Amino acid sequence: MKIRKTFQTRFVFAAFLAAILGFSNAVQAQQNWAATVGGQSADMSKQAAAFLPNEIWIHAGDSITWTFASADVHSVTFLTVGQVYPFDFTQGCPPITPSGLPFDGSSCVSSPPLVLGQTYQVVFPKAGNYEIVCLVHAQMFGTIHVLDATLPLPYDQASYDEQAKEQVKALLEDADLHQHHAEHQHSIGDMFSAKATSHTKSVTAGVGEIAATAGGQQSFSLVRFINGTVTIHAGETVEWTNLDAEIGHTITFGTVPQDLIDPSCSPNCVVSTDPDGALHVTITNTQQNVHSGLIAALLEDEPGFPQGPVAPPTRFRITFTTPGTYAYVCAFHDNLGMDGTVIVLP
Ligand SMILES: [Cu+2]
């Protein structure tokens, strides 16, 4: 009896200990954290290209589930060190990998481009500092700090929720300020380039800015043609410029072509290049399809990389010879409501 009782006591104690240890391991090493990708204003004109929050500290074994919060596409991608950042964001890192896989730095994981309401989860089994990147927006990246399970974490989920909210608010409020700024720049830009080329009206095709954090970069964009409805007379020229360092746009009349990157025009028209590098088309009727191709800010120079050409085009000009109403969109951001109209009077 005595032996049996001791056995029972020990068994109960051991089971109790195992339960405590097992429970505490489950809490410490297998927490699933929640974070957000992107943000936008109610009318979708203001877009935050950001991982929110931009920096997260977790334990090895934890996972993070990102919920996408904008109609503009983003990806959650972890590349391996030395891997080349790919050109085509539709193919993943490549490849596209399923949600819920581990990333320990040895092979890449990537969501497809996702939008509002979709989610993607990554598990982090190994301690280290890992860069999270968006394959759609090169200047959108953050850091995930994966600490050994014995180390304390600086923030809890509630703190991260608050940080995410504050970061997206700050980015979108900045966009408000820059809308006024852009309208101001619009007239200055007009003044300067009117001296170089002959055109009547100038439209800012988007404006944006990149901000740094200790863990990466995030940006806001005003995804609109500012003063995008313009009235001119036949024979006059409109010029579009992109003042967004992060996001490229197009100026597209008529049918949207398959190839969004290169300029095109049909039928019976050509896209030529002005002496200052701007693309230029002359439209003679409202039925022509005109596509600027990608109009984007120039890329910055990077130490260790060769000097590149002045590319891509940053300006697009159209001369309208015939009275009529000409509607246009950005082929990338039509879904966000980025459109305008040129009214040509006799
Ligand atoms: Cu656009």
pLDDT at 198: 61
pLDDT at 314: 87
Which tens digit of pLDDT belongs to each residue from 282-306?
Answer: 999 999 999 999 999 877 777 787 7
Q: How large is the average pLDDT for residues 9-15?
A: 41
Give me the amino acid identity at 221: S
Which tens digit of pLDDT belongs to each residue from 32-73?
Answer: 999 999 999 999 999 999 999 999 999 999 999 999 999 999
Q: How large is the average pLDDT for residues 15-36?
A: 61
Residues less than 5 Å from ion ligand 1, measured at CB: 249, 330, 332-333, 338
Q: Percentage of the chain with pLDDT > 70?
A: 84
- Ligand 1 center from residue 294 Cα (angstroms): 9
Confidence class of residue 176 from pLDDT cuts 50, 70 and 90?
low
- Ligand 1 center from residue 158 Cα (angstroms): 34
Decide if pLDDT at 188 tops 90: no
Confidence class of residue 197 from pLDDT cuts 50, 70 and 90?
low
Decide if pLDDT at 29 tops 80: no
Pairing state between β 119-123 and 101-102: parallel
- Ligand 1 center from residue 72 Cα (angstroms): 10
Helices (H), 221-301: none
pLDDT at 1: 35
Which tens digit of pLDDT belongs to each residue from 200-254?
Answer: 788 999 989 898 999 999 999 999 999 899 999 999 999 999 999 889 999 999 9
Q: Any residues with CB less than 8 A from the CB of 237 and at least 6 apart, and which? A: 197, 198, 199, 200, 201, 317, 318, 319, 320
Average pLDDT, the chain: 86
Query: Strands, DSSP E only, in 69-215?
Result: 77-78, 101-102, 109-110, 119-123, 128-133, 141-147, 201-213
- Ligand 1 center from residue 273 Cα (angstroms): 21
Helix, strand, coil abundance in the chain, percent, nearest 5:
20, 35, 40
pLDDT at 175: 58
Q: How far is CA 158 from CA 38, 130, 165, in A?
A: 19, 22, 11
Q: Which of 13-27, 57-71, 158-172, 293-307 has the lowest mean pLDDT?
A: 13-27
- What residue has token string 């003063």? 227
Instruction: Determine phi and psi for 28, rounding to 5 degrees.
Output: -75, -40
Calpha distance 322→325 (Å, rounded):
10
- pTM of the entire predicted model: 0.82
Q: How large is the average pLDDT for residues 96-117?
A: 97
- Ligand 1 center from residue 1 Cα (angstroms): 82
Q: Which of 62-71, 184-193, 276-285 has the lowest mean pLDDT?
A: 184-193
- Ligand 1 center from residue 326 Cα (angstroms): 18
- Ligand 1 center from residue 319 Cα (angstroms): 21
- Ligand 1 center from residue 139 Cα (angstroms): 16
Q: Are 122 and 76 in contact (CB under 8 A)?
A: yes
